[in-house]
Structure 1
Amino acid sequence: MTVPQATNENSMYASVARHRTIDSVVDALQALILQRKLNPGDALPAERELAVMLSVSRNVVREALGILGQRGLTTSRHGYGTFVALPSGEQARAALQLLLELERVGLVELCDARLLIEPELAALAAARVTPAGAAKLRDAFAALAAASADGEAHVQADLAFHGAIAEMADHTVLRALVDAVREPVTRGMVFGTKVPRAIDHSDVQHEEIMLAILAAEPELARERMREHLSYVRGYLIEHDVRITHWSADD
């Protein structure tokens, strides 16, 4: 039996109205977070309570919380509820991974972004050395050197080493930008080919970066980081690394 056109139209507009309701709930909760009325770590009321407070269904609340979670503004803990969170680079990393898989952006382009940002982070780190930061950087390098025989462990140690530098630099915007592009480039370099000397040479450069930072020499730290990332870029081009999926078995 053919459904009357009017019924189709009613259904369509009902769907639009529903999405507008979800958007309204998302906007309302997001505003509370942006206005600091809800702060990172604060627990949100249970779905049932929120539904009553906002005069919407629990399904609308659930979908709205899902959208906020995708934006990095909330996190759910099974058995405990939903909490306000700070956005991280995870959403940007996921978007870049999709672009990589669609071949709309390449690892060399991502490395170019690192070249623009990370030398400045290294210089800032050298200018802001603290005993705690220095100890963390030394520990990160020790873990990196110890992981040279394990590709997956080396990726994680490499990310932690560069993360320690970004943390020492204490620049929120630059750190967020580079966090989004660092992992695919690092994984591409380690798993893109089977050339073991790539890791060895890279770790020599990591040590030079660390020593420049610990010596509190911003210009030298900037130059050492630039040299390291130029090497990574050349490596990616030389070996035509295009890998978009990695595992410890690669």
Structure 2
Amino acid sequence: MDVKPINRKSIYQDIVLQIRAMIERGELTPGDKLPPERRLAEMFSVSRNTVREAIKALAQKDILESRQGAGTFVRVADADSFAEAFAGSIVRSQPRLKDIFEVRKLVEPEIAALAARNASPSDITWMENVISEQEEAAQAGKMTSELDQLFHEILAEASGNSVMRIMIGALHDEFVESRISVLQSKDRQQRSLEAHKAIVDAIKGGHIMQAEKAMREHLEEVERIVFADK
């Protein structure tokens, strides 16, 4: 596993973020067993208690599952089959990019509004950590599309609606190509970061209408960029 040094200000959240990123990249797949706590603690250079905190947080999100006497596994949820079927139907129908944007503009502003109502402090910290990772990657001249996708999926989780999370995960799998196009320059990466920060600020303040508006404006800007490149 490819792990990074841990930010001491938010240790367990950084571990959560890295494990989630491993799952997103396919390095860990549903049913996989994680290394023992002792080994994870050595890999991340943290205490076993910190590893337990991270595992507990991921288990609460239904991402990991601890089985007594067996270890910790990447969760295989019933929702996975729904997500696969949903994503498969999108692939089979071969929708136009415009159709994807129309769905996103219908769904994601509402997700942001729900997150402003339901996000926990740990959800907000998680979003802020992703934005920090995104900023560091952009400054280093790296692509930020994976972190952009992760931000939107965390936002869907923070909404408190599990079906929203599944839908966004499936839609984003089909949206990788356009995301790479949008985030291909430093200027565009910076604009995306500013939009994400505005969304999180609204969520952090519990401003439902402001969060919805910030997300809608973000999607409209992304859509303009995508179709300007066509």
Band the TM-score falls in, shorter-chain normalisation: 0.5 to 0.7
- Paired residue for 2:78, among 75, 81, 86? 86
Deviation at 1:130, TM superposition (A): 1.7
TM-score by length of 1: 0.55
2:204 matched to 1:210?
no
CA contact (8 A) 2:145 2:179 kept: no
Write out aligned runs for 1:57-68 (5 A).
Answer: none
SS of structure 2 residue aligned to 1:150: coil
**Contact kept? 2:111, 2:156, Cα under 8 Å:** yes
Q: Which residue of 2 aligns with 1:48?
A: none
Counterpart residue number, 1:164: 154
Q: Which of 148, 166, 178 in structure 2 is aligned with 1:176?
A: 166
Aligned partner of 2:221 among 200, 215, 231: 231
**Residue equivalent to 1:141:** 131
Deviation of 1:94 after TM superposition, in Å, equals 4.3
Q: Is the CA contact 2:183–2:189 (under 8 Å) kept in the aligned structure 1? A: no
Find the counterpart in structure 1 of residue 142 from structure 2: 150
Counterpart of 1:108 in structure 2 is: 98
Unaligned runs of 5+ in 1: 1-39, 42-82, 241-250
Partner residue, 2:119: 129
What's the CA shift string for 1:50-94, capped at 9, x where partnerless? xxxxxxxxxxxxxxxxxxxxxxxxxxxxxxxxx964232244334
Indicate whether 1:96 and 2:94 are aligned: no
Change (3 A) 1:187 1:206: farther
Amino acid at match of 1:87: A
Give the aligned length. 154
Contact 1:115 1:229 in 2 (8 A): yes
Matched-pair contact (CA < 8 Å) for 1:129–1:213: yes
One-letter amino acid of the structure 2 residue matched with residue 174 of structure 1:
M
**Alpha-carbon contact 1:113-1:178 (below 8 Å) kept:** no
Post-superposition Cα deviations, 1:205-242, rounded to whole Å, max 9, x if no partner, equal 111111111111111000000000111111111111xx
How far apart are the structure 2 equivalents of 1:192 and 1:94? Answer: 24
* Rounded Cα–Cα distance in structure 1 between residues aligned with 2:202 and 2:192: 16
Structure 2: state its 5+ residue gaps.
1-29, 32-74
